[in-house]
Structure 1
């Protein structure tokens, strides 16, 4: 078979059209729940189709930190993505029940503006992430063991943060209450 420009061009156009018709989109967008956080891709022609009548219950285990304290903890913003992608797919917001436990390296993300500024000499970039999740009804916990080990107390935390006995305790109790564990 002779390969020429026209054949190559036709093949490229057909391949591009096939990808486009399959419904995969290469640009992530935000919304419909969070307009500036949590970009997700619209995916069509799914082989696994979630039942949108189900209740989605998940507990996120967040223990990693960004090495640069001026950067967002992208694991926390995964909860925003979770809301955006499931509501976009057709799950009502009221059927989504999320919680998060911060511990280990993510302990610093729970700090108030003043405590964070004092410790890291920059603004806490996670304040709006945490506030917006709390406004959605997400339970946001900090491991009391990690808090104490790091030398902080309740007065050093954002008002949206609830102190737990330990991350292990929160993870155990939420999983006993049928929350799926999401760990990155």
Structure 2
């Protein structure tokens, strides 16, 4: 029986070490494009990566809103993640071309600070997200139909937001220009 005790101890320690290492979490980190938003996980031993010489073109269809007006729209920050993730794995920033269109219940995310504060009694948590995307060259559109339906006009919007005839129009034209549709 005593001969099994060291083996049992070894197996127990091995089990504990294995359990601890499997239980460790890979924490998401930001960068290299956006350091305050767009956290992504680092993945080892990947089987699929995009060709680094290929242009990545995507249009994000955003129609959901947060129920809490003080919380940012996580779909908007997906574009930050897209940049951080692909640049981290070797795609040059100038090979990434993104656009987004806000419509439906996400229309409120495009409102100027004054209009947002008046309507929701809090600051627009999407203002900086939209601004940083615009600064890097992302085209930010709002559906003119949704904007009008909600009772807003162009003067009520953030300066980075462009008014389109409709979200359907933007999505059609961008896809005809070989932008992949990303819809969550």
TM-score (norm 2): 0.92
Matching of residues 5-154 of structure 1 within 5 Å = 5-14=9-18, 26-154=26-154
Rounded to whole Å, the distance in 1 between the matches of 2:99 and 2:150 is 22
Rounded to whole Å, the distance in 2 between the matches of 1:37 and 1:134 is 14
- Structure number with larger C-alpha Rg: 2
Partner-residue secondary structure (3-state), 1:137: coil
1:4 aligns with 2:18: no
Rounded to whole Å, the distance in 2 between the matches of 1:48 and 1:82 is 15
Aligned to 2:167: 167
Does structure 2 retain, via aligned residues, the 8 Å contact 1:55–1:96? yes
Partner-residue secondary structure (3-state), 1:11: helix
How many residues were matched structurally? 180
Partner-residue secondary structure (3-state), 1:34: coil
Rounded to whole Å, the distance in 2 between the matches of 1:140 and 1:100 is 5
In structure 1, runs of 5+ residues without a counterpart are: none
Q: Please, what is the CA RMSD of the aligned residues?
A: 2.0
Rounded to whole Å, the distance in 2 between the matches of 1:142 and 1:77 is 16
Deviation of the 1:50 alpha carbon: 1.8
Rounded to whole Å, the distance in 2 between the matches of 1:175 and 1:25 is 37
Which stretches of structure 1, 4 residues or longer, exceed 3 Å deviation after superposition?
1-5, 14-17
